[in-house]
Amino acid sequence: TGIGFNPKKVAAVMGPDFKLDSWDAVLKPENLSKLKKCGVSFLNAPTEIMATVLHYIGKDPNSTNPDDYKEAGKVLTSLRPYISYFHSSQYINDLANGDICVAIGWSGDVMQAAKRAKEAKNGVAVDYVIPKEGTLVFYDMLAIPADAKHPENAHAFINYLMRPEVIAKVSNYVSYASGNAASLPMVDESIRNNPNIYPPAELKAKMFTLKVLPAKINREITREWTKVKT
């Protein structure tokens, strides 16, 4: 999870020397209040955004302290006037069309926006950055229901996807990295050499994953998120 942005529009609003490489760009009100002029989108993903804010303010992103979420809620409330909308897919088209200039989004989705803009030849450029403070790393999974009638077919499909030549084509299409090391030589150079898709070790060291949180903490997240959105 990182920041997708339109370099030209950001430079027009923030000045040519503004470096968009930190969560400061979207989590400091003084920056977001300026970026509001060209449109800002946040993921409609409370657990992810809350964890990101906690990480940013030096707290445990998987905190089980309700007070930490109240603090994260205050940060988000200070940003709320400058957020155009919360959505987990609309930003792809909006970035590609130049309708917004910044989005907290998922790496592959932002890369797809960049690809759409390039294909449309509409003069819009889209870039993506993993903030230097580190970020959430997530994994898309395949699961087989316990009562599946044909589990052997599911295993056959998973085995097919895990063929290096197959999963490499998936990475090339959706711009998401896969964990299949053998596929790497078959991944397009522009993707495998992109540090925002396959991050270097020093950046990986600053990343975190989400844990399953107690129900009372999930309720706190929902309460704070509802307050922020409304």
Which tens digit of pLDDT belongs to each residue from 83-123?
Answer: 999 999 999 999 999 999 999 999 999 999 999 999 999 99
**Exposed e or buried b for every residue in 172-194, given b needs 16+ CB within 10 A?**
eebbbbbebeebeebbeeebbeb
Q: At what angle do helices 90-97 and 107-120 cross, to 10 degrees?
A: 40
Region of 15 on the Ramachandran plot (φ > 0 left; ψ -120 to 50 alpha; else beta): left
Which tens digit of pLDDT belongs to each residue from 9-48?
Answer: 999 999 999 999 999 999 999 999 999 999 999 999 999 9
Which tens digit of pLDDT belongs to each residue from 143-189?
Answer: 999 999 999 999 999 999 999 999 999 999 999 999 999 999 999 99
